[in-house]
């Protein structure tokens, strides 16, 4: 019997990516780009649906959050998730030339900010970069 590959959450460099975006076409495009790399993807059209799904994760999760959601902004989303005691790597997408929004997202705890419209390669590189910084092998303790 052939050996099955471990789930994405257990393979180095792969994660479950939660995409929060009100546009169904963008959700599908972003999802397809990440599934092509082997990530597991969950998509949400509302901030509340994504927040209600969050719990202290047992696996690596990366959030990709659109700057304007149904009832809140990405900044409000980050604040609410952290208020629940959940700290996850978060990539925020912002409109072109939205420097103030990008700076504020980083101040509130976003791991990366991407300018829209973004292409698949940019998203894939950002998720890989976030994972490289998040999942690090344990090294020796220095005394």
List, in order of start, the domains of the chain with CATH numbers.
8-118 (3.40.50.2300)
Residue 47's φ and ψ, nearest 5 degrees, are -60, -45
Q: What is the pTM of this model?
A: 0.78
Closest by CA position to 109, among listed 42, 72, 63, 70? 63
- Are 131 and 14 contacting, i.e. CB atoms less than 8 angstroms apart? yes
Question: How does pLDDT run along the chain (143 residues), one tens digit per residue?
Answer: 333 333 444 344 567 899 999 999 999 999 999 999 899 999 999 999 998 888 665 566 889 999 988 889 999 999 998 888 888 899 999 999 889 999 999 999 999 999 998 899 999 999 999 888 875 544 444 43
What's the pLDDT score for residue 141? 42
Count of alpha carbons within 13 Å of 43, Cβ hemisphere only? 16
């Amino acid at each position: 019997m052939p050996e099955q590959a471990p789930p994405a959450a257990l393979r180095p460099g792969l994660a479950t990516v939660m995409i929060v975006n009100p546009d169904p076409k963008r959700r599908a495009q972003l999802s397809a780009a990440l599934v092509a790399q082997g990530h597991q993807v969950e998509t949400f059209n509302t901030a509340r649906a994504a927040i209600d799904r969050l719990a202290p994760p047992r696996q690596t999760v990366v959030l990709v959050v659109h700057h304007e959601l149904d009832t809140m902004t990405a900044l409000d989303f980050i604040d609410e998730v952290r208020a629940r005691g959940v700290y996850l790597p978060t990539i925020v997408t912002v409109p072109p030339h939205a420097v103030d929004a990008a700076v504020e997202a980083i101040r509130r705890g976003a791991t990366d900010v991407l300018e829209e419209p973004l292409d698949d390669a940019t998203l894939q590189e950002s998720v890989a970069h976030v994972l490289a910084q998040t999942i690090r092998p344990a090294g020796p303790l220095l005394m």
